[in-house]
Structure 1
């Protein structure tokens, strides 16, 4: 009887520590589509007893009020102070891209000043004027400010990328957004020695202590895989 009781206790403890159940996560649409889709699929393969509810939305989701276990935020400025626990997942620098056909027809700019002779596509953000502030990736230099008269201003990264692929102009995007298009040959990175901006991918969780094994495993998986997902 004692042996059976010990075996039962061991089984219960194992179930409490083994990742099981459902993880509810939320992220921006582009982040979910271009960075997290493969990461989540790999997690589900690795942890067959865990299910994931993945919610994509470009609004700010109240993860406590809407009962999410975790949110992934892509941001250029520090996130506002809150009671949420933050864990940095990966830097996500912005680069300049143009369609391969566009470069073949028009040539690639050789320096930041050449950008003023090329049409531009601009990601609309609150309080941000249509300029690119470029800095050298390896050398400490003052930034180069490139004023723009964009052919397209939008708050949709997917649409901006598609316009660049069609040859409408040059676009600045986080590298992970354009990664697949670069690998397929649809887009080219231009001025590779220059960065068009900095951003960070951060996970937010409601609390640090008492995370379910499934949520902790998912968070650790994101931290391990995001640095690979954002590389060009």
Structure 2
């Protein structure tokens, strides 16, 4: 493909009615401008301009060529302007992946504040419990809940906060099945747990350093924490849940904290995104907002 700058130079000469005026307008030496237009005519095999000492006019071929070239130049200028707008003000679409329970419990309550602060930004929030591929699926950001995650060569992982998991059950369940007094008592109880292969292993610990690991066969298995909360409140069994997820049901008395001196491993919320080379303001604005707001929801 020919150098598109030559189209721009040609249009500038026509627009400013001469090489001298065009050279001054676009900041290019007159001799260079004349040479580039001459090279363009040579490649086309047609004269585009009639030159004289006092005037310059378009040939028929030049007139046709100018009309098409000006469209190309206008489109290119609009493309640059649209990118400049993105660089200067947050706008456009941001695509975010988030676990289902996180979207329901932590993200939904704070989204309206972001949308109000950045009216030109639109969000596509995909609530999914699987780990997405940033490149193939064209995601900008992802919220992930995991015991630990580290930066990589291509991704940044920012810790936003987290909570330990606690044992909970309904008053009715405990009345029917008894209150566990030590971790070993859980072996005889109905258990609600995340999806795992085969047996479920719960690693419990106390604040003073004692630990106990249990291999359990759950009665109900689901990767939806909201289902676990509701099942525990309905008396299905004992669940090991992130404390903020169970907090509402604990306040209302639907759930009771079981073995309160023991807790499960801490799960941390991370904001993960590709390393910020050429990051758009819309993406940066959402990162800054989530870094500030999600820790507040964890503290509530």
TM-score (norm 2): 0.63
**Contact 1:175–1:230 (8 Å) recurs in 2:** no
- The total of aligned residue pairs comes to 218
Output the CA distance in 2 between the equivalents of 1:202 and 1:85: 10
Q: How does 1:44-59 map to 2 (within 5 A)?
A: 44-59=115-130
The structure richer in helix per residue is 2
Distance 1:26 1:169, change over 3 A: same
Q: How does 1:88-127 map to 2 (within 5 A)?
A: 88-103=159-174, 106=177, 108-125=179-196
**Contact 1:25–1:54 (8 Å) recurs in 2:** yes
**Contact 2:103–2:127 (8 Å) recurs in 1:** yes
TM-score (norm 1): 0.79
Secondary structure of 2:270's counterpart equals: strand
Larger relative contact order, structure 1 or 2 (CA cutoff 8 Å, min sep 6) = 1
Q: CA deviation at 1:81?
A: 4.3
Q: CA deviation at 1:231?
A: 4.2
Output the CA distance in 1 between the equivalents of 2:154 and 2:112: 30
**Contact 1:90–1:223 (8 Å) recurs in 2:** no
Q: 2:288 maps to what in 1?
A: 220
Output the CA distance in 2 between the equivalents of 1:180 and 1:44: 27
Query: Gaps spanning 5+ residues in structure 1: where?
Result: 1-12
Q: CA deviation at 1:105?
A: 5.1
Secondary structure of 2:283's counterpart equals: helix
Which residue, out of 279, 285, 299, partners 1:211? 279
Which residue, out of 80, 90, 102, partners 1:31? 102
Q: 1:6 maps to what in 2?
A: none
**Contact 2:167–2:241 (8 Å) recurs in 1:** yes
Q: 2:214 maps to what in 1?
A: 146
Query: Gaps spanning 5+ residues in structure 2: where?
Result: 1-83
